[in-house]
Chains A and B, each alone.
Chain A
């Protein structure tokens, strides 16, 4: 049972434009959400997070939006750069729980120069 879903396996965007990566979740107990980025032959690296008490968190070119009623979050990257080309994983957890993360299947972003 996939509790975190990323329905777009891949996304291609022109350099300088906005990249929007989407994620849906089914478990209403989730209250902390993270995005990880993964390059080939490397482990996932933390990108940005948001707790359920917020609906937006921004860090430089990266912004995460959370819509709790729709159980949906999105990651916006603007402007997109070729170095952003990677697989992006959405993850969710329950604060105060065992800190295990539930990951989506990932979206491969390709930024075209």
Chain B
């Protein structure tokens, strides 16, 4: 059973640029969630995708957007990067579309974004 894989592992961007982060979900999982973990903080929910549609969103502006593909992999796109976007971005997969509320999330190792 393959786990959650994310790419790239590290990247550096400048303010105002755009970034795309990628995630392959664990085999058998159909739901993908994205979290932002700033330094010294816990992960914060960005949004979740189920059946290729956004299925819940945290307190993040519209310049954070995502996609889910038919194979359940996902992308996180961030436009107009700001310095405060520097963080570890974690992708997590699960099964069931999220509405059960009790699904255990399986996390990837994350993509560390630095915005200069």
Contact = CB atoms under 8 A, between A and B. Distances in A.
B56 A99 contact: yes
Q: Which 7 A-B pairs have the closest CB atoms?
A: A98-B56, A103-B42, A43-B107, A95-B101, A99-B98, A100-B45, A46-B104
B74 interface: no
Interface of A: 4, 6, 31-32, 34, 36, 41-46, 49, 51, 89, 91, 93-106
Interface residues of B, number: 30
Interface in B16-37: 31, 33, 35
Q: Interface of chain A, helix or strand or loop or mixed?
A: loop
B101 A43 contact: no
B105 interface: yes
B91 to A, nearest CB: 8
